[in-house]
Amino acid sequence: MGTATLPSFLTDLPRFLFLTGKGGVGKTSVACATAIHLARTGRSVLLVSTDPASNVGQVFGLRIGNTVTSVPAVPGLSALEINPDQAAEAYRERIVGPVRAILPAPEIAVIEEQLSGACTTEIASFNEFTGLLTGEGSAAGFDHIVFDTAPTGHTIRLLQLPGSWTDFLEEGKGDASCLGPLAGLERQRSVYADAVAALGDPHRTRLVLVTRAQRAAVEEIARTRAELAELGLREQHVVVNAVLPEPADQDELATAVHRREQEVLRTMPPALSGLPTDILPLKGENMVGLEALATLFEPAAPPPDRPSTAGGSADLPAGVSELGNLVDELATRDHGLVMLMGKGGVGKTTVAAALAVALAERGLDVHLTTTDPAAHLAETLDGSTPGLQVSRIDPEEATRTYRETVLRSKGASLDAAGRAALEEDLRSPCTEEIAVFQAFSRAVNEARRRVVVMDTAPTGHTLLLLDATGSYHRDIVRQMGADGSYTTPMMRLQDGEHTKVIIVTLPEATPVLEAEQLQTDLERAGIEPWAWVVNDALSATRTTHPLLRRRAATEGPQLERVLAAAGGRCAVIPLLATEPVGVGALRVLSEGRSAVTV
């Protein structure tokens, strides 16, 4: 990689570099290529993933975990994945270990129970993150630390936490029951304050907003820019990844995609257009492995002399179907939960909206909702249809409702001092985790009387939500006994008649591998996925454009893997000439016409 082709965000780089954006835009590829470049210029670099569904190890072909791991092929480069489960276990042991031999076994059991929830998992992961920001432990000695973050909504939550916990510790000392002994937080007070200072110092921290030339992705980073600027991260750059170069031929799909992307670039929101911006061209290969990553910052390669004439649905393996086939099966019942899951950026929101519109137009009573803080269902629908209700599980609204409910019930019988203590405890950032779980549980139960289509947050965070669901289930079993008469949200998720889980992915190696791992995690929890949807498949189009055909040629093996994992129930949606926004465009996805796009 010559210096002449380097993107501007690498100029005068401070020690900490954060890459964030909507899921699926290529944050990990850009982060890995950045880390490789810095290491090859003689700097010592630590690449850190804060995404619970990290695929940094897959990109490098290494097993990377919760400890700093050298990348042998790149001297000077090490990597670390903040594993939520491992971090939580280490956090619990730091709290319980010193008193294990001192306190009676029943008291130890109570402390361990207090430290068993999803809230503790979040705090433990967060502690790992703040330690890196303040140069403690594993971060010591590195010239640069590159953070490959979780998709936008959860990154904002992560970066808000230093201030949230600092405020909580400064303003009061509620019993913090969901965290166990408050000393576990008190010891981190100065670390949190140092983390806030590091995030707000442009000489130490730079934020790179990674996007694709897609309207929804650009609008999301525009919102992110404002929210993170309020948190003090004002040293910001934009990277537009995987932009299709101007086609030299007359291929209709390539021409339409190029025009669409150029229009997005031309009409960037004013808040973004004033930021330093780099545009990276679409590559013909997947960005997996050192050889591919080394080309990410290079200009687009010239097309072959002669374009390919191959293309069309004949490239699809036997056994794949269309989204409408899944609608036909789902429409046979007037209630139930349809839950869309998968990696960020694979199109879960679009597929969820398309299914909801199709089912509502079949005359069913449908509620379309989302657990993703960064999802924008209203923008995807851009309209309404009879029989369809749309909502989102908003963390702030859910938390406000939960606090009011607790104060009305639990606080009604308390005196002034007791009520003040309760209000203080409810200001804990952990309250949000409990509130979101309760809202999620209500949506799961609502599916007993109507169809609920749920668009979920990206994989790792959805699994954490399911962990909370499992913890609640185990608590109920302990209290009421295995033979008790009850039905928990987890039991409804495990009931194939009540819940249909659909895994959404892209026809690329890394998304398919992550989807396979998601299926394994779900099956371990007793949840059997019902179907798979492969989105944006070039092999389902009639394109003859050389670059797009090169990418289409890589899809066949991935589709075969999906068919094997899905047990035959697999729908494919082709890459579309226009973004599927609006009820009319969403309707096309489930009517079968999309299979012959352009």
User: 3-state class of 418 per DSSP?
Assistant: helix
589: number of Cβ within 10 Å:
29
DSSP for 496-520, written as a single string: TTTEEEEEEE-SSHHHHHHHHHHHH
Residues 401, 404, 407: CA angle, nearest 5 degrees: 150
Verify whether residue 51 is a known catalytic residue: yes
Give the contacts of 157 (CB within 8 A, at least 6 positions apart). Answer: 373, 395
User: 3-state class of 409 per DSSP?
Assistant: helix
Verify whether residue 370 is a known catalytic residue: no
Verify whether residue 232 is a known catalytic residue: no
475: number of Cβ within 10 Å:
14
Instruction: In whole angstroms, give the CA distance from residue 584 to residue 453.
Output: 19
Verify whether residue 24 is a known catalytic residue: yes
Instruction: From the candidates 20, 21, 23, 26, give the one annotated as an active-site residue.
Output: 26
Residue 57: what residue type?
G
Verify whether residue 311 is a known catalytic residue: no
Residue 230: what residue type?
E
φ and ψ of 252, to 5 deg: -65, -45
Instruction: In whole angstroms, give the CA distance from residue 534 to residue 255.
Output: 23
Instruction: From the candidates 22, 27, 343, 500, give the one annotated as an active-site residue.
Output: 27
Buried b (16+ CB within 10 A) or exposed e, 26-61: bbbbbbbbbbbbbbeeeeebbbbbbbbbbbbebbbe
Going 321 to 327 to 333 to 336, the CA torsion angle's sign is positive
Instruction: From the candidates 21, 22, 23, 24, give the one annotated as an active-site residue.
Output: 24
Instruction: From the candidates 155, 431, 456, 510, give the one annotated as an active-site residue.
Output: 510
φ and ψ of 180, to 5 deg: 80, -155
Verify whether residue 387 is a known catalytic residue: no
Order of all β-strands in the sheet with 69-70: 69-70, 77-81, 45-49, 144-148, 16-20, 205-212, 236-243, 277-281
Q: Provide, for the chain, the percentages of residues in helix, strand and coil under a 3-state DSSP scheme, each rounded to the nearest 5.
A: 50, 15, 35
Instruction: From the candidates 29, 130, 149, 155, give the one annotated as an active-site residue.
Output: 29
The pair of three-digit structure tokens given for residue 220, joined into one six-digit string: 């999301």
Q: Give the strand pairing for 451-455 and 45-49.
A: unpaired
User: 3-state class of 224 per DSSP?
Assistant: helix
Instruction: From the candidates 20, 21, 51, 590, give the one annotated as an active-site residue.
Output: 51
Residue 154: what residue type?
H
Verify whether residue 11 is a known catalytic residue: no
Give me the active site residues, please. 24, 26-29, 51, 510
